[in-house]
Amino acid sequence: MSQGITLSVLASQLGGEPRGDDVLIDRVASLESADERSLAFLANPRFKVQLVASRAGAVVLKAADAQGLARPHIVAADPQLFFARAAQLLHPQPAVIAGVHPAASVSAEAFVDPSAEIGPGAVVEAGAKIGRNVVLMANAYVGRDASIGEGSRLYPQSCVMDRCEIGARVILHPAAIIGADGFGNAWATDHWEKIPQLGRVIIGDDVEIGSCTTVDRGALEDTVIGQGARLDNLIQVAHNVQVGAHTAMAACVGIAGSTKIGARCQIGGAAMISGHLEICDGVVVLGGTLVAKTIHQSGVYSGSYPMQEHGDWLKNAAQVRHLNELVQRVKQLEKQVMALGAAPGASGEEEK
d(CA 273, CA 290): 6
Tell me what pLDDT residue 348 has.
Answer: 55
Q: What residues are labeled active site?
A: 239
> Is the pLDDT reported for residue 295 higher than 70?
yes
Q: For the domain 99-311, what is the CATH code?
A: 2.160.10.10
> Is the pLDDT reported for residue 319 higher than 90?
no
Beta-bridged to residue 73, according to DSSP, are 19, 59
CB atoms within 10 A of CB 132: 15
pTM of the predicted protein model:
0.86
> Fold match between 5-90 and 99-311?
no
160 CB burial (10 A radius; 0-12, 13-18, 19+): buried
Helix (H, G, I), strand (E, B) or coil at 225: strand
Q: Where is average pLDDT lowest: 44-53, 117-126, 137-146?
A: 44-53
Tell me what pLDDT residue 243 has.
Answer: 98
Tell me what pLDDT residue 1 has.
Answer: 46
pLDDT interval class at 174 (50, 70, 90): very high
Please give the mean pLDDT across all residues of the chain. 94
Tell me what pLDDT residue 352 has.
Answer: 44
Q: Mean pLDDT across the stretch 200-217?
A: 98
Choose among 172, 119, 127: nearest CA to 146: 127
Q: What is the 3-state secondary structure (H, E, C) of 5-69?
A: EEHHHHHHHHCCEEECCCCEECEECCCCCCCCCEEEECCCHHHHHHHHHCCCCEEEECHHHCCCC
Q: Which amino acid is at 340?
A: L
Choose among 265, 213, 202: nearest CA to 235: 213
Torsion sign (Cα): 263, 61, 25, 52: negative
Question: What torsion do the CA atoms of 204, 206, 210, 215 make, to the nearest 10 degrees?
Answer: 0
Q: Mean pLDDT across the stretch 111-140?
A: 98
pLDDT interval class at 306 (50, 70, 90): low
pLDDT above 90 coverage of the chain, percent: 85
Helix (H, G, I), strand (E, B) or coil at 53: helix
Q: Return the CATH number of 5-90, one of 3.40.630.30, 3.20.20.70, 3.30.420.480, 3.40.1390.10.
A: 3.40.1390.10
Tell me what pLDDT residue 342 has.
Answer: 74
> Is the pLDDT reported for residue 177 higher than 70?
yes
Phi, psi (deg, nearest 5) at residue 103: -90, 5
d(CA 111, CA 102): 17
Highest mean pLDDT among 40-54, 274-288, 337-351: 274-288
Domain chopping of the chain, boundaries: 5-90, 99-311
pLDDT in tens, 51-109: 999 999 999 999 999 999 999 999 999 999 999 999 999 999 999 999 999 999 999 99
Beta-bridged to residue 171, according to DSSP, are 153, 208
d(CA 303, CA 320): 13
pLDDT interval class at 252 (50, 70, 90): very high
d(CA 295, CA 286): 14
Q: Where is average pLDDT lowest: 15-24, 267-276, 322-331?
A: 322-331
